[in-house]
Structure formats: structure tokens, C-alpha cells
Amino acid sequence: MAAEVAPKLTRKDFVADQEVRWCPGCGDYSILANVQRVMPELGVPRENIVFISGIGCSSRFPYYMDTYGFHTIHGRAPAFATGAKAANPNLSVWVVTGDGDGLSIGGNHLLHTIRRNLDIQILLFNNQVYGLTKGQYSPTSALGMRSKSSPQGSIDHPVDPISYALGCGATFVARTIDVDAKHMQQVLKRAHDHKGTSFIEILQNCPVFNDGIWEDVEDRKTRAKNTLVLEHGEPLVFGSEGERKGILMQDGRPQVIDLADDDDPKERGVVIHDEKLETPSYASALATLTRPDFPLPVGVIREVEKTCYEELLEDQIKEAVDQKGAGDLHALLHSGDTWTVS
């Protein structure tokens, strides 16, 4: 008997009938479009896909996806996602959060959700500003950023989302850019294929409150120079033809060297990217690469395997049933000392 073949879904099937209400030119538009494009390619029935968000501009995301969606409260989306995924491991759960939602009010939930390694995807849109509350500095804003709540400049040292995720023990960490459609789609697919919590920082422009913060990596003309595109097994090489450079490690410190077009980077000692290293020190070193001295790494920084929370949870239930038999309410109520009055 031939299995019924479901009609192939397209991007349109994931577009909700709601008017999208981000500001014109917001980086969120292109992220939405790319997520909608990737969905049909994941092989997941639409009804099994759930988008869960917190509060902020990015967190309006679920309203625009024609999947199951839950727009929750500030910072707590990872906890809602934990409950949903633990309840039904068949669901493909996507958390959408921002730098304020995920790293400020929700920093604790992000930490614990990542370390439990539920098989979910967390997309953190980083625009280094609070957009929805109209322009205050965020936990990823640069020191000295002037904003409505920091007219003399922010005196907070920023947190780096990638380093944070690595510190939480993330099994999949990646970075991509709002305007780089192809790269983002690749990263989203990889994140979905990874078994465990996938953390993706998406650099996102907020033209209203923090315009141009990622310009040097968003602009096609300067992107090659300013980004290091990571590929597993490939050398850490960046820059365009004629201006190729590589990264090697000297005394435990990264260093940029110039490469001639016909140089073999391996022979020159350029580091070969390895996502699978168990110890996070290499990935952490990559995370510290910042402009202007270094290019910004994009792509999959780390992917390793670990057990997933929701599976262990189900295993414990099976183990308990194997040992004690399925729960019997009558037996439970009569366990221990009882006495009968006649």
C-alpha cells in the first residue's frame, strides 16, 4: 500500500495572514523570509512546528509564521519551550528571542535551557539595542553607547552571545547575518539537523534605533574582509582574492597572516576549523575574535553530541515502569501502613 504523499509545502504555506508590523527596513523581515523558505525543506509536517518567543521586536515573530506559535512573556520563552518539548518530543520547537529578551531578563532561562540540551533551536536576533521600548542600550551594546537611557554613554560591559552560549555548554553554536540569505538558510538547516539545543546568533540591523551597527559585515563590499566564514575541515581563511589572509595560533593566541593567492594555507600553519572538538577552548577562542583586528566568525562554531533532556526524561519513565510496572493508583493509596475499621 503506497503511503499517502503529502503535497510538498512551499514558503507560502508558512506565511501567516497577519500584517507584519516591523519598521520598514528592519532586519527582521529578511530573517522571517529565510525562516519561511527553510521550513518546507526540513521534512517536518507543518503541524509539528512550534515557534515560541518572549517579548521584544523579534518576539513578534510567531504571529507571522503559519505554524503553531506562542508569544509568551519577557525572557521566559526558553522555559515555555522546555515544557512544550518535554511534553511532546515530536515537536520541532523554535525559540525566537533578542539580545534584551534572551540575555538580560531571560539570561538565566537561556543558560539552563542550553545546558539541558533539549532538541530545540534558539534564534537570538542581536541588534544591540532595545527596539520595542524605543531605544535603550541592551546587554550587547558597546561600552559607551549613547541611548535614551545612557545619554552619557553606557557604562555596562557587553556580553557576547556566542561566548555566553559556549559557557553554558551549548552543543551547537552558530552565527549568521540578517542579509545573507544563503548563509542563513544553511545555518538554519544545520541547526535543525543537530540533535540538541542549537543556538544561533543572527546579527540584525535596527534601522530605527541602532542603524548600521553591523554595516561592515552586512555590506557585500566589505563582508569578505570582515567576516571569517567557517567550514568544518577548512582553513580559517578570509578576505577576497589578492587580499587573502589566514588565522593561526601562536602561543595560544590567534594571529592574522597575509596569504598569497597561491599559498597553501595548511602549509602556512593556518588553523583548520574543527566544529567537533569536545573541549570548548578552541570555539571560545574563535568567539573572542573581534573587529577591527580580526574578522567576525560566521557559520557553525561548534557542534558536538550530548544526550537530550527530553529523551532522558522519557527514559526515566520507561525505567520506572520496567521496574515497578505501570502506576497503579489503588496500590499507591494502599502503600505503607493501613488499617481497616469494620
Partner 1 sequence: MSSKTSEPQGPTSGDSDGKTDLKPTTEIDDVAIRFAGDSGDGMQLTGTKFTDETAMAGNDLSTFPDFPAEIRAPAGTMAGVSGFQIHFSSHDIHTPADRVDLLIAFNPAALRANLEDVRSQGMVVINSDAFTQKALTRAGYEEDPREELKTRYALVEIPLTRLNREALQGLSLSQREADRCKNFFALGLLCWLYCRPTEATERWLAGKFKGDVLQANLTTLRAGFAFGETTELFPVHYTIPSAKIEAGTYRNITGNSALAWGILAAGKQLSMPVFLGAYPITPASDVLHEVSRHHEFGIKTFQAEDEMAAVSSTIGAAFAGQLGVTISSGPGFILKQEALGLAVMVELPLVAINVQRAGPATGSPTKTEQGDLLAVLFGRHSQSPVPVLAASTPGDCFHIVLEAFHIATKYMTPVVVLSDGYLANSAEPWKIPDVDSLPRSTVNFAGRETMGADTEFEPYRRDPATLARPWAIPGTPGLEHRIGGLTKEDISGNVVYTAENHQRMVDLRAAKVARIAEDIPPLEVEGPDSGELLVIGWGGTRGAITAAVESAREDGLSVSQAYIRHLNPFPSNLKEVLTSFKHVLCPELNEGQLAMLLRSRFLVDVQSFSKVAGQPFKVQEIRERIDSFLTEKS
Which residues contribute to the site for partner 1 (CB under 8 A)?
Answer: 16, 18, 45-50, 52-53, 55, 62-63, 65-73, 76, 78-88, 90-91, 108-109, 111-112, 313, 316-317, 319-321, 323-327, 329-330, 332-334, 336-342
Burial class of 331 by CB neighbour count within 10 A (0 to 12, 13 to 18, 19+): exposed
28 binds, among ligand SF4, partner 1, none (CB under 5 to 8 A by kind): ligand SF4
Applying the rule CB under 6 A, the residues between 43 and 102 that interact with ligand SF4 are 57
Cα(142)–Cα(219) distance, rounded to whole angstroms?
Answer: 20
112 binds, among ligand SF4, partner 1, none (CB under 5 to 8 A by kind): partner 1
Applying the rule CB under 6 A, the residues between 188 and 207 that interact with ligand SF4 are 206-207
User: Which set of grid coordinates corresponds to residue 318?
Assistant: 520507561
3-state SS assignment for residue 14: helix
The secondary element (H helix, E strand) that includes residue 33 is helix 28-38
The residue among 79 and 188 lying less far from partner 1, judged by its C-beta, is 79
Binding mask 5-34 for ligand SF4 (x = CB under 6 A): -----------------xx--x-x------
User: Which set of grid coordinates corresponds to residue 161?
Assistant: 552571545
Q: Does 130 bind ligand SF4 (CB under 6 A)?
A: no
**By the 8 A CB rule, do 176 and 203 touch?**
yes
Tell me how far CA of residue 54 lies from CA of 77, 86, 338, in angstroms: 5, 19, 49
46 binds, among ligand SF4, partner 1, none (CB under 5 to 8 A by kind): partner 1
User: Which set of grid coordinates corresponds to residue 269?
Assistant: 600553519
**By the 8 A CB rule, do 261 and 244 touch?**
yes
Write down the residue that cell numbers 511534553 correspond to. 87
The residue among 29 and 68 lying less far from partner 1, judged by its C-beta, is 68
- Give the residues lining the site for ligand SF4 (CB under 6 A): 22-23, 26, 28, 57, 127, 131, 206-209
